[in-house]
Amino acid sequence: MDSILYSLEQSPGLVASNIFIVLLVFLMMRRSLISPRSIRSSYRFFVTLLLFIFVLFSFWGSDWFHYRTAFLNLRLGYAGHIENIYVWISQHLAYDYLSFRFVIWGTALILLLLTLKRLSINYNLALLFLGSVWILWFSYARFSLALSLVFWGIALIYKPWKTKTVSYIVGLSAIALSVFFHKTALFVVAITLITMVFKNMYSKGRIYLLILLTPVIIGGFRFFIKQYMAIDFDDAEDEFLIARGQNYLLRGFSKIGIGTRIQRILEIAPYYLLTYQCFRIQSSPRYKRLPPDISFFIALLFLMVFVSSLFLLNIDLNTSVIYIRFMRFCCVPAVVLMSYFWENSIYRRLNRWTYLIALMGTGYTMLYSLYIAIK
């Protein structure tokens, strides 16, 4: 099996197989868009299986093939820019590349599905939005496991399992452990802790305070970037991310084509549309009736998008790579909030447009990957 995996090269057929999976997930789960949102258990099981297949065989981007090469180095004890925990996993928990991906991306997906089941959202809707849109970026790089640990920890804290004490200990431990699986998880952990302290950060008074503190935040970013440029921001990026670490960040400009610009707009726009909905709902009477876990994710997404967007200011460095990476951390909150807003008919028209643009973004990205493979 391992010899077969190492003989594979990105091809139109392999990319098309990923497109087929996403299309099949949408077709099987689309009934969840309409009340009563019931889906056959056999369909739900099959979709879950498809999601596992997608993360194990994520051929649409070049990362799958880059990590295949990196796995051999990890087995020899050479980590390079990859966290040391992956050396241990490759040597003790994996016997080939496929099992390596199952341990990392498979565990990440299991934790994510447990998170979605625990939260106050419709699970069928969550599966649809995850499988038809955001599974693309969740399968994209190794930060998926770090993200899943953070959001699983949040779910345990705000929807306790057994006793609150046990849930808090396990939840906070999962959040803390996430930084060992990806250095940039420090960003998500920091935003999570800030959100826990200031749950109403997005209220008008707090927004003004956040704006006033922007120069301080930018100063902190400058220090962070200069001190920790060894942090890997590219993860053997696919065709859309042409950056390469510190050298790229020290350049004064970046060159991306019109195709990449369109992809970026379609990918990022849903996050801003959801953030706008989060901002609006805080002044609505229904806001006080929101479940605690949902109100937390509203604050979390707002802060993640706000802080990520500050990287567009460039702060003397070309930080567009950091911006796009941190925005992609919003994929899980996006699934959660899309599911809740859609189920409860909150900003129905805007929510439909958000989903439509998100679908277009995923479709465009995968079709562009297919075009590159054919070319």
In the prediction, which pLDDT does 16 show? 96
Say whether 203 sits in a helix, a strand or coil: coil
Q: Cα-flanking dihedrals φ and ψ of residue 233, to 5°?
A: -105, 0
φ/ψ of 178, rounded to 5, equals: -60, -30
- How far apart are the C-alpha atoms of 101 and 85, rounded to whole Å? 14
End-to-end alpha carbon distance in the chain: 28
Listed residue (368, 336, 375, 279) closest to 19, CA to CA:
368
Domain positions in the chain are 2-374
pTM (predicted TM-score): 0.89
The residues near 160 (Cβ < 8 Å, ≥ 6 apart) are: 166, 167, 168
DSSP 136: H
- DSSP line for 96-118: SHHHHHIIIIIHHHHHHHHHHHH
Distance CA 135, CA 328 (A): 11
Instruction: Compute mean pLDDT per 10 residues along the chain, 375 residues long, and list them.
Output: 74 95 96 90 96 95 89 87 90 92 96 97 97 94 93 94 89 95 87 78 60 69 57 45 39 62 93 94 83 93 89 66 87 97 94 97 94 87
Query: In this predicted structure, what is the pLDDT of residue 253?
Result: 42
For residue 98, the number of C-alpha atoms closer than 13 Å in the C-beta half-sphere is 11
Q: Residue 131 has what DSSP assignment? A: I
3-class DSSP state of 32: helix
At position 257, the amino acid (one-letter code) is G
